[in-house]
Amino acid sequence: MIKNKFYLLLTCGLLLLGCSSDDGNSENDGQLDSEPVTGFTPCENGMAGIYPCNGYDLMGSISLSEFSATAGNDVWGWTDPDTNKEYALMGLNNGTAFVDITDTENLIYLGKLPSATSSSSWRDIKVYQNHAYIVSEADDHGMQVFDLTRLRNVSNAPEVFNDDGLYSGFGNAHNVVINEDTGFAFPVGTARDDTFNGGVHFVNLQDPKNPVSAGGYGANGYTHDAQVITYNGPDADYAGAEIFVGANENQVAIVNVTDKDSPIGISTFGYSNLAYTHQGWFTEEHRYLILGDELDEVNFGFDSRTLVFDLLDLDNPILHTSYSGQTTAIDHNGYVLGDQYFLANYRAGVRVLDISDIANKSISEEGFFDTFPSNNSAGFDGVWSVYPYFSSGKIIVSDINSGLFVIKKSE
């Protein structure tokens, strides 16, 4: 979600229907009066209780009030390698909640790690070596470190946790991504006047509780979101390199960050009807980048638009195709798992796209679960993010207005 509300109002236009001037933080804005369901509810005849759906059942949910919070944001997951228990890590306006989702008939809210400083609508979480790394737009927040193995021994849930470390090499940050292959974190969206122009900081996590600064890159300006991979794609020039792809508001930037002391810009590119370049994710063979623009639906009246770029040559990305969704809702975060793309689509919920024939420019929606049932218009409410990587097939969903949802493909 874009931080600058004044910018949002300018781009949306104050009178545009569906543009949310409260930036999506009103707890019950637009929701139905019906009582939400919280336990297992199958998707039958297009509904799971009050929630529109197609092919995905509700396994369970926890409300914001149970978290003692008023807004949700990011979500990530962790599977304990010793016990195989599965956990949801959900960002809240005032901290990070940890939930044992192993038994969906008995979701256990284990506790909260409070914000390092003040509350904020923006919080982001990633995991490396059984540790969670948490950043926020809150002033002077830095990056919290939390040892997730502590969740094995919670005796009086919900607990109020303390952190296991705090990296203070920056103050606020919009997001953090981690390349688990190399053990580096890449916080982005820091202060625009810092050493790296709000671009990307490099942080060594190889001693997980003691992150160490390793430089950064800011030649392309502010980075809103990013992905960093160990490249195994078709461009032989970069085989095995550590590649950073940043969504930089008005362009996409590809950078070789293998040598942290000397990162090298590879290419930058844009596209027509660009409004706010928000977030992208590689397909698993690293051939295509699937990209979302957070304001094109608002500014240009598109149905949810997803852009696909062919990165056969990293030095010369080419627009491959674009996909128009079933609604006018704004697209947010999207993640690839095999031949599926899981898209957090704000008021339209989670949309699951079949990308098995992406090479032939064929993308189709195969299912969805909508946690914001009242409408699918272009507003900043509903689903913030989705995490589809549990081996059990459970999918966790964070809703700005309602809390945590656990869903699963219908059998």
* SS3 (DSSP) at 104: helix
| The pLDDT value given to residue 37 | 78
What 8-state DSSP symbol labels residue 184? E
Residues 377, 383, 389: CA angle, nearest 5 degrees? 140
Cβ atoms of 310 and 287 closer than 8 Å: yes
Half-sphere exposure for 241 (CA within 13 Å, toward CB): 23
* SS3 (DSSP) at 8: helix
CA 253 to chain CA mean position, Å: 19
Cβ atoms of 211 and 201 closer than 8 Å: no
Classify burial at 203, counting beta carbons within 10 Å of its beta carbon; exposed 0-12, middle 13-18, buried 19 or more.
buried
| The pLDDT value given to residue 16 | 33
Q: Which residues contact 231 (CB under 8 A, 6 or more apart)?
A: 238, 239, 240, 241, 242, 243, 286, 314
Residue type, 44: E
CA 376 to chain CA mean position, Å: 20
How far, in Å, CA of 407 to CA of 42, rounded? 10
Residues 154, 160, 163: CA angle, nearest 5 degrees? 90
How far, in Å, CA of 112 to CA of 146, rounded? 11
Cβ atoms of 231 and 240 closer than 8 Å: yes
The number of helices, as runs of H, and strands, as runs of E, in the chain is 2, 31
Residues 5, 7, 12: CA angle, nearest 5 degrees? 90
pLDDT averaged per 10 residues in sequence order, the chain, 411 residues: 49 34 38 71 98 98 98 98 98 98 97 98 98 98 98 97 98 98 98 97 98 98 98 98 98 98 98 98 98 98 98 98 98 98 98 98 98 97 98 98 98 93
Classify burial at 242, counting beta carbons within 10 Å of its beta carbon; exposed 0-12, middle 13-18, buried 19 or more.
buried
How far, in Å, CA of 295 to CA of 34, rounded? 30
| The pLDDT value given to residue 9 | 35
| The pLDDT value given to residue 3 | 64
| The pLDDT value given to residue 231 | 98
**DSSP strand E in 67-183: where?**
72-79, 86-92, 95-100, 108-114, 123-128, 131-136, 143-147, 159-160, 165-167, 175-179
Cβ atoms of 127 and 145 closer than 8 Å: no
Q: Which token pair is 257?
A: 């960050």
Cβ atoms of 124 and 175 closer than 8 Å: yes
| Strand 184-188, strand 175-179: pairing | antiparallel
Prediction pTM value: 0.93
Residue 216 φ then ψ, to 5°: 175, -175
Residue type, 102: T
Half-sphere exposure for 44 (CA within 13 Å, toward CB): 4
β-pair partners for 385: 398
How far, in Å, CA of 200 to CA of 257, rounded? 10
| The pLDDT value given to residue 351 | 98
